């Protein structure tokens, strides 16, 4: 009887152990609703400053979820804003990090695939993970980043300043 109970316990324990090893990872996903919330906050900040900018929100793989081009914003800022957001998402840090590296002499950062090394892209953090990013383009680099931080902060659970990412 003891042997049967031991075998039964072993049989029951093996699937549980295998399930723990093959558990599918779970990650936060940036929803359209959250992207709209980020864009709305960034747009309000841009309006407060009188800024004409493009605001782009991407998922964690850098794919565009939402884009808004405010009236009178230069068309060239569309691709730049998307690039800044994509950079922040796929490299999991503010796009300014790469601009700083280049400024400090690390020109190899120019060769990073998919990187737009310009200030203004900020990761969006949910449950401690990068769920996407927001990129802003159209004004000064500092102002673009400040507007992006406001947008990211509207949906992030943590502070999204350039130094803390």
Q: Where are the domains of the chain?
A: 32-164
- Do 67 and 78 meet the contact criterion of CB atoms below 8 Å apart? yes
- Do 135 and 82 meet the contact criterion of CB atoms below 8 Å apart? yes
Please name which of 127, 131, 132, 134 lies closest in space to residue 157, comparing C-alpha atoms.
Answer: 127
C-alpha 23/C-alpha 95 separation (Å) is: 33
Q: Which two tokens stand for residue 57?
A: 């929100």
List per-residue pLDDT tens for the chain, 165 residues long: 666 666 655 556 656 655 566 788 889 999 999 999 999 999 999 999 999 999 999 999 999 999 999 999 999 999 999 999 999 999 999 999 999 999 999 999 889 998 999 999 999 999 999 999 999 999 999 999 999 999 999 998 643 334 333
Per-residue pLDDT, 25: 85
Per-residue pLDDT, 69: 98
- Judging by beta carbons within 10 Å of its beta carbon (0-12, 13-18, 19+), is residue 112 exposed, middle or buried? middle
The pTM assigned to this predicted structure is 0.81
Topology of the domain comprising 32-164? Beta-Lactamase (3.30.450)
C-alpha 162/C-alpha 143 separation (Å) is: 13
Per-residue pLDDT, 4: 67
Contacts of 84 (CB under 8 A, 6+ apart): 56, 95, 116, 118, 119, 120, 121, 135, 136, 137, 144, 148
Q: Name beta bridge partners: 126.
A: 129
Per-residue pLDDT, 26: 87
Helices within 22-75 (DSSP H only): 32-49
């Amino acid at each position: 009887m003891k042997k049967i109970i031991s075998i039964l316990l072993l049989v029951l324990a093996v699937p549980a152990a295998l399930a723990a090893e093959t558990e599918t990872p779970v990650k936060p996903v940036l929803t359209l609703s959250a992207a709209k919330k980020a864009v709305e906050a960034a747009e309000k900040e841009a309006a407060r400053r009188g800024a004409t900018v493009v605001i782009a929100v991407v998922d964690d793989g850098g794919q565009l979820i939402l884009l808004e081009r405010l009236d009178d914003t230069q068309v060239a800022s569309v691709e730049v804003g998307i690039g800044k957001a994509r950079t922040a998402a796929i490299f999991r840090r503010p796009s300014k990090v790469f601009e700083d590296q280049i400024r400090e002499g690390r020109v190899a950062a120019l060769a990073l695939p998919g990187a737009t090394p310009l200030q203004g892209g900020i990761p969006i953090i949910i449950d401690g993970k990068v769920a996407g990013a927001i990129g802003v383009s159209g004004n000064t680099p500092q102002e673009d980043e400040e507007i992006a931080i406001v947008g990211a902060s509207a949906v992030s659970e943590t502070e999204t300043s350039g130094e803390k990412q």
